[in-house]
Amino acid sequence: MMSPTHIGVGITLATIMFPIAPEFAVIAAIGGIAGGIFPDLDLFVGVHRKTLHFPVYYWIPTVLSIGAAVYSLSSLTVFLSFFFVSAAIHSGMDWFGAGPEPRPWNKESQEAVYAHTHRRWLAPKYWIRYDGAPEDLFLSIVLIVPGIILFTEPIPVLATVALVVGILYVAIRKEIPDRFGDRI
| Residue 117 clears pLDDT 60, i.e. is over it | yes
Give the percent of the chain with pLDDT over 90. 96
Q: Return the pLDDT at 48.
A: 93
For residue 44, which phi and psi values (nearest 5 degrees)? Answer: -105, -25
User: How far lies 23's CA from each of 99, 118, 125, in Å?
Assistant: 39, 40, 38
The dihedral through the CA atoms of 111, 46, 50, 79 has a sign that is: negative
CA distance 99 to 38: 18
pLDDT in tens, 55-75: 999 999 999 999 999 999 999
Axis crossing angle, helix 3-14 with helix 155-172, rounded to the nearest 10 = 150
| Residue 100 clears pLDDT 60, i.e. is over it | yes
Q: What ranges do the domains of the chain cover? A: 3-180
Q: Return the pLDDT at 21.
A: 97
Q: What mean pLDDT value characterizes the chain?
A: 96
Band (pLDDT 50/70/90 cuts) for residue 184 is: low
pTM, 2 dp: 0.94
pLDDT in tens, 149-172: 999 999 999 999 999 999 999 999
| Residue 128 clears pLDDT 60, i.e. is over it | yes
- CA 25 and chain centroid, separation: 18
Band (pLDDT 50/70/90 cuts) for residue 183 is: low
| Residue 38 clears pLDDT 90, i.e. is over it | yes
